[in-house]
Structure 1
Amino acid sequence: MTPNLVPYLLYEPEESGILWIKFNRPERMNALIGSSEENGTVAKVGEYLRAGDDDPNVRVMADLTGENFVGNRGTTEGPDAAREHFFHGFTKLHRDISQVRKPTIAMINGPAVGSGMDMALHCDIRLGCENTRFIGYQQLGQIIENGGSYYLPKMVGLGRALEFAYTGHLDAQRAYEWGMLNYLVSSEELEQATRDLCDRIIRTPPMVQWISKRIMRAALDSTLETTMTLTSNAGGILNGSEDAREARQAFLEKRAPEFKGR
């Protein structure tokens, strides 16, 4: 089902199974239009992701980010009004990215600023190039958001995360060395590298990816014992799935498998 489209955020599914979500305001460096209100950029990102998650023809979602994403913080005055807008707007809508069951990739070809950085950190995988920069809101008197405050210490370690929190800027090379970027390639190779990764992802049974993602994200806040229970339960279910049987049969027949997500 196609969502209600807006011109400043593109929704481009391909027959290959890749869904591209592209920010489309180059004349304004891809700055956000609004945020959590109806038809605001952040709200539309959530809507597009949910539509892609529900589309059986979509296997992986690539979020083409990497410009100056600066959004508003509130429409009324006062610290608590700003907090409410932040929590019910950016926080919950950004969380939609991490809760999508299908693989999500952030392809970052430029500065990922504030909310844009947060969106990228909520994705599963990030690819960057020489143009990539991660920039926080520190210079504007604001803390980094949930992707930065929650996921960043787990990705790079507390010391490095705090260094970023104190300085608010990170170039592509250091982001790659720290582990924020899975891949660092030239800008000319960035889209092809993203497509190649999507192609490799699509060769794996989708249910394996969906369940692996749920378990690994849950394990960030869990124990070894709980994780062992989750993987043991999931392993038995997956073993009897139609896709698992198809994977085994395709391997024996030396052909490409045809997965159905069940």
Structure 2
Amino acid sequence: MSLLTFERRGAIALLTLNRPEAMNALGAPGDGDAIAAACAEVNADRSIRCAILTGAGRAFSAGGDVKAMRDRAGAFSGGPVEVREGYRTNIHRLARALYGLEMPVIAAVNGAAIGLGCDVACLADIRIAADTAKFGVTFLKLGIIPGDGGAWLLPRSIGMSRASELLFTGDVVDAKTAAEWGLVSRVVPADTLMDEAWALAERIAAQPPQALRLAKTLLRQGQTASYDTIMEMSATAQAIMHMTEDHVEGVNALLEKRAPDFKGR
């Protein structure tokens, strides 16, 4: 059974964390390779314009395998050097792969998103949550710290003060609070979550795919690059976009007062 299943509907990819019997716990040996392979397949398909990331069963992801931590097994076996390498080559590999998806990604958070699971949700560009969803970064309650890049991700999602409160207390917040804090864009009834995610993805997928990927790159780089660097990147990317057939189609569609039909050319 694949850890990250890939289903395609038109220009949209549905990616599902598929370990429901363990509430989609992540970080077992081989998880990084499995998720990296799935993400590489999605990135290679230039016709995919948007992806939805969700969890099978009742959780989005409950995070790391606490029983494996207790038993010092799997990804948590060995001494400090081995555990460090396990994080770098496995857990970091899965996080980098999801963060490296080139098209816009919507996290449809269907249930608990805890620890690593919450940080995985933060890897998406847009997050919407079922009203039954819960969020927490409970690492300190286990005597550990965010080992998956969460200390970089979370403040960029909700600001330093909220991120500090969530991390330092280990509190788990409901979907309504997550929305108030900006962790998710909206909260919807659980039974309509995927319908809402698909509808949003379809609006995104109506955009030109090359421009979508470049727009995402600029937004991501804008979090850390200087203003001057982004200005230079924007000028270069814009020059490329002006040469595309999709740009011509967009201009003509606007002038002709009709919906554009972008082909990715």
Pick the TM interval, shorter chain.
0.7 to 0.9
* 1:106-145 alignment runs, 5 A limit: 106-136=107-137, 137-145=139-147
Q: Number of residue pairs matched? A: 252
Look up the match of 1:206: 209
**Could you give the per-residue CA deviations for residues 22-77 of structure 1, whole angstroms, max 9, x where no partner exists?**
12333332234724x2xx3x432222122111113322111113142324563532
Equivalent in 157, 160, 164 of residue 158 of structure 1: 160
Greater relative contact order (Cα < 8 A, sep 6+): 2
Equivalent in 210, 218, 224 of residue 221 of structure 2: 218
Cα distance in 2, alignment partners of residues 158 and 33 from structure 1: 26
What's the Cα RMSD here?
2.0
TM-score (norm 1): 0.88
Q: 1:215 to 1:242 in 2, by over 3 A?
A: same
Other structure's SS at 2:14 match:
strand
Look up the match of 1:90: 91
Other structure's SS at 2:146 match:
coil
Equivalent in 240, 251, 254 of residue 254 of structure 2: 251
Equivalent in 20, 23, 26 of residue 29 of structure 1: 23
In structure 2, what residue type is equivalent to 1:24?
N
Cα distance in 1, alignment partners of residues 25 and 101 from structure 2: 24
What 5-or-longer segments of structure 2 have no aligned partner? 70-74
Other structure's SS at 2:144 match:
coil
Q: 1:90 to 1:227 in 2, by over 3 A?
A: same
Equivalent in 176, 181, 194 of residue 178 of structure 1: 181
Query: Is the CA contact 2:3–2:35 (under 8 Å) kept in the aligned structure 1?
Result: no
Query: Is the CA contact 2:87–2:148 (under 8 Å) kept in the aligned structure 1?
Result: no
Equivalent in 40, 52, 57 of residue 62 of structure 1: 52
Look up the match of 2:9: 14
Cα distance in 1, alignment partners of residues 26 and 85 from structure 2: 19
**CA drift at 1:255:** 4.0
Other structure's SS at 2:239 match:
helix
Other structure's SS at 2:81 match:
helix
Identity of aligned residues (%): 31
Q: 1:225 to 1:47 in 2, by over 3 A?
A: same
Cα distance in 1, alignment partners of residues 189 and 143 from structure 2: 33
Look up the match of 2:72: none
Query: Is the CA contact 2:47–2:209 (under 8 Å) kept in the aligned structure 1?
Result: no
In structure 2, what residue type is equivalent to 1:184?
V
Look up the match of 1:3: none
Cα distance in 2, alignment partners of residues 67 and 92 from structure 1: 17
Answering whether residue 40 of structure 2 is matched by residue 46 of structure 1, we say no
Answering whether residue 151 of structure 2 is matched by residue 149 of structure 1, we say yes
Query: Is the CA contact 2:4–2:38 (under 8 Å) kept in the aligned structure 1?
Result: no
| More displaced stretch, 26-35 vs 148-157 | 26-35
Look up the match of 1:260: 263
**Could you give the per-residue CA deviations for residues 141-188 of structure 1, whole angstroms, max 9, x where no partner exists?**
121244521121122221111111112223211211111101211112
Query: Is the CA contact 2:91–2:148 (under 8 Å) kept in the aligned structure 1?
Result: no
Query: Is the CA contact 2:129–2:193 (under 8 Å) kept in the aligned structure 1?
Result: yes
